[in-house]
Each structure stands twice: as structure tokens, then as C-alpha cells.
A and B are shown apart, each in its own frame.
Chain A
Amino acid sequence: MSEQHVIQAEGVEFRYRPDRPVLRGVNMKAQAGRLVCVLGPNGSGKTTLLRCLLGQLRPSAGTILLDGKEIERHSPRDLARLMAYVPQTPRSAFAFTVGELVLMGRLAHTGLLGLAGAADLAVARQAMIMTQTLPFASRMLEELSGGEAQCAMIARGLAQQPSVMLLDEPTSALDIRNQLMIHRMMQRLAHDWGMAVVCISHDVNLAARFADQLVLMRDGRVLAAGQPLEVLREDILQQTYDVQVELIRAAQGPPVVRAT
């Protein structure tokens, strides 16, 4: 497993308005072959952090490094070859088929018009097989269930052949079965495909079960980061979420968190 591909935030600060900082000196790192879940209450700065990692927002202080190089120094095309993004809600303003959407992941690998060749079709096909979306190739995104649509968006990300995959609450609108499926898929991307996967999540237990590392945020700061067994402590969780929690020890794996 390669340790080469890494995305990291170093002392990142960001503010939409001068008097209202959203991120305050955030440090985090995701290495190849690791699934990192970012947790925290609403408004803690998780999505802003993800958009900074993605290069869509420029931090007011600190740096984002992708493979050791500042993210601003990568061209949009190079960035798309290294890093993919899956949004919270799969949507398309135009009535494209799932196959066409997945092929859009090849834009950074094709010429000016984005015309896909045989090699691009093969990559897209492989991504769809991996995510079990090939049977839906000729269907529209809105004809799919929430889980299927999210898989299609992950397939589009995989078609980019990235080293880093960023996902913004990909399971927020899904049932338990689809939540498990997406988390297993993210784990496979990290462990079997060697990607650095960063996922924003609201489900502490699912994140703890599947992630290699958890990052807990509150008020734009990282309160704790580390392996699930290190981070899942009652005091840290209470400080993060402002609620009383109980940890139920399991025979193996991380404890189950229950709000009381």
C-alpha cells in the first residue's frame, strides 16, 4: 500500500466574513489507504474544511497540501486527476443518463470537447462495475433510489482515477442498508484501492466502525483526532456535541455511543 498520496491541512483558517471565523487553525491529514471520517455538530466547519481541501475555498491562513504541494499550485485539470469529490445530494440540472454522468469523470483525462475514447469507456465501465451501477447506465439519476444515485456519484468520482476521494455526508439521506453499503464501499476504496478517503459524517457509530481515523470538530477547531478507540471517550464526545453520552463496550471493535 502506497503512503505517497496524502492530503493535509496545516493551520487552516477560513472566514466568510471578517468577524466570523469558520475554521480556526485546523490540522488534519489523510494518507493513502486510510478512511478518515470528520465528525462534529452542525456548524462546526466540516463542510467548509472539505471545500478547502477540495480547493474550492482558499484559506485565509494556513495551507492545504496535496502530495506535498500547495493545492493552489495544482491546475484544475491536475487536481481532478488526483482528487474526486462526492456531494451530499446527488443531482443533475440536466437529464443525463447515469452512464453519461460517470463519463463526466473523465473530463480531465480527455481533450477540449471531453470526447471519451475506448480507454475512457473502459475506466468508466470498471468504475460502474465496482459500484454496481452498470445496470443503471441508461437510466436518469432521478429514476434511481437515493443509495443507487449516491453509488453513481461515487462511480463518477472513481472514473477520475483519483488518489484522494472526498465525500460530504454521502449517507445523510439514506436508509440503514444503504448507509452500510456506502461505508463498506468507502472502506474498500481506502483498503483495497489504496486511496486516501475523507468523509464527513453525522453517524458516530458507523464512522467509528468503518473509519481508520476520526477527526472531531467543534466551532471550527479540531478537538480530537486519532483511531476510533483513542477518540471515542465520553469527555471528548460530550465536549464535541454538548450532550451526555454513554459508551457501551463491545466484545470487539470500538464502543457504541449512545446519547442519554
Chain B
Amino acid sequence: MTEPPSESLRSLSAGKLVRDGLILLIATIVVAGACSMFGVARLTGNVWRMRLMRLATASAVGVALSVAGMALQALLRNPLAEPYILGVSSGAGVGVLVGSILAARGLLQSGWVNTPVLALAGAVGSCLVVYGIARRRGRLDPYVLLLSGVVINVFNGALMLAILKLSRSSDIINFVGWGMGQISDLTEASLLTVCAACILAGWVALFLRGGWFNALGLGDDVAGSVGVPVHHLRMETFAIAAIMTASAVALAGPVGFVGLIVPHFCRMIIGPDHRRLALFSGFIGAMFLMLADTLCRTVGEWVNVGSVPVGIITALAGGPFFIYLLRSRLKETSA
């Protein structure tokens, strides 16, 4: 047997990760710059500020949903896992909605503390229910998990409708766009700061677990045997994904399918290594949502209907993509 050249056994280096990170950071800044100038010819100080806040919100939401999606796919060894599909986003949505209605009625102070906390409570609640249904003998059934997510989504959707029905009509109008996933020009700076800090911390935490996510692909027993604390990793990742999703939903409502589209796109470009994937998913998620939101804002301005919810574009792209992935997976399992 002839021995191949030594290049055939290569490892990811810290230098390569730093280089990737810098290139992606520069690309994100360029995209943000381009998006900020797109659409309106004359930018006054106020419009600039609003646009920058909007881009910052879009990028934070993009990072959160993409990286949470990547982590859930790694954890569950399921390419279809994603915060929106698993019902985590809609759970967070119920939390935000309850908080907003209570605030509108003067029963709760609205703001940067209550919104993320209630979103997190809803996200964690949905996570626990989905996880509890799909867990049998310490293992998670991937298809039961997806079905549980679908059921929880329907349930949370009904809860949101019931809450809206019981609320005053002046409150409802604010939620029509939000319910579809909309990035606002008027995000509170304090809310954005808190949510962005949570998202950044979650991103770093999941990036550092990239090596463990790689090993999880070999199965729980093998991953455990190479030193991965599988049970703790599962709990931590669900918690971090819930925090990131709750932050995203508190900022923009339930934006769907970003966590599905972006990690898969990144996998196609750079392969399956979750250490690089965490970097790429975050930055490309930020770029993707900034571009999608700029498109929505521009289309809204052209047709004079105000801002179009970004969730419409992500759902129009993500729905067919989900069906494509589902069919590919069915083909794989039946082969």
C-alpha cells in the first residue's frame, strides 16, 4: 500500500480561524455599509441613526438564529432542526406577546428587562415540552422531535391568537407585522444592548463547543468516549439556543427558517467542521438578514406600504428549502 503525502492528515489551526474571522468581519462591515446607504438618496442624521439601529438589530437577529440553528442541528444530528421549526421561536413569541399586552394594560413595565425575560420563559417552556415528548430511554427521536415542534408551533400560534383576541384593538395593530417577524426602525437602544450582549455571549459559548459538536456526529456513546460530557452539553446547548432565540424574538418577533438556510449554505461552502461553521453561520447570518431586511425596506418604500416584515422573505425562501432537505433526508434513510 503506498502512503499518501502527509497533507492528507491536516488539522484546523487557530491561525486559520482568526483569518476566517477577520475576513468575515470585514465582509459584514462592507455589507452593513452598503445596506445603510441603499434606498434613500438623502440621509439626514435621524435617518442614519434609525438605519444603523435597524442594521444592528438585523445583524444581531441573524447571528442569533443562524448560530442557534447550527447548534441544534449538531446537537440533534438532524439537519432539519431549527429554533423556528422546533417551536422555540413561537414559545418566545408567546412570552413577548404576554409581556406587551400586560405592559399595554399597565400591569407590567415594558422595557429591556421584561421583554427578554418573558421571551426566554416562553422559549425554555417550549424547549422543555418538545424535548420531553421526543426523549425516550435517554435518546431523542429526530422525527418525533420535529413533529413535536410542529405541534408546539400550532399550539403557540393558537395561544398568540387567543391573546390578541382578548386584547384591545389598539394593541393588535402593533403585532400584525411583529407576528410575521419584523425589524423595526424604533428598537429601544437598551433592549438592543441587552439582547445583543446575550447573543454575543451565546455565540462565543457555542463557538467554543465546536469540537464537541463535531464528535457528537459519531453518536452519543462515541462522543462520550472521546471526552464530551454529552448530557451537560445537551442541556447547555438547549439553554444557550433558547437564550439566543428569545433575544432574537424580543428584537424582531419570530423570524423563520434563518437557522435552517444559513448553516446549510455555510456547510456547502466550508464543510461540516462546527468550529468554522459557528464563525461562518454567525457572520453570514448577520449579512443575510441585513440584506433581506434592506430588500424588505426598499420594496416597502417602492410600493408605499411601509416596511415589509423580513419574516415573509425568510419564510418564502425557507419553506421550499425545508421541503428539499426533508426529501433529501428521506432519500438518504431509505437508501
Contact = CB atoms under 8 A, between A and B. Distances in A.
Given A115-B275, A124-B9, A128-B9, 8 more contacts: A77-B227, A85-B221, A87-B218, A100-B273, A112-B211, A114-B211, A115-B14, A137-B8
B271 A95 contact: yes
A132 interface: yes
B77 interface: yes
B221 A51 contact: yes
Interface stretch (A5-13, A31-39, A101-109): A101-109
Contact of A80 (B8, B10, B220, B225): B225
B14 A84 contact: no
Interface string A128-170: 1100101101100000000000000100110010000010000
A112 B13 CA distance: 13
Contact of B4 (A81, A107, A137): A137
B219 A91 contact: yes
Contacts of B229: 76
Contacts of A132: 1
A96 B14 CA distance: 19
A92 B3 CA distance: 25
Interface of A: 16, 51, 54-56, 76-77, 79-81, 83-85, 87, 91-96, 99-105, 107-108, 110, 112-117, 120-121, 124-125, 128-129, 132, 134-135, 137-138, 153, 156-157, 160, 166
Given A114-B214, A115-B11, A134-B8, A56 B221 contact: yes
Contacts, number: 125
5 contacts: A84-B225, A94-B217, A108-B227, A114-B215, A137-B4
Given A113-B210, A134-B9, A108 B226 contact: yes
Interface residues of B, number: 39
Given A114-B214, A135-B4, A94 B272 contact: yes
Contact of B228 (A87, A107, A115, A128): A107
A113 B3 contact: no
A114 B2 CA distance: 30
Given A113-B210, A138-B4, A125 B9 contact: yes
A104 B226 contact: yes
B79 to A, nearest CB: 9
B235 interface: no
B1 A135 contact: yes
Given A96-B272, A115-B13, A116-B11, A135 B226 contact: no
Contacts of B9: 99, 102-103, 121, 124-125, 128, 134, 137
A6 B74 CA distance: 34
Interface string B47-78: 00000000000000000000000000010010
Which 3 residue pairs across A and B have the least CB separation, nearest first?
A114-B211, A80-B227, A108-B227
A107 B8 contact: no
A96 B276 CA distance: 13
B3 A107 contact: no
B214 A99 contact: no
A93 B226 contact: no
Nearest to B2: A135
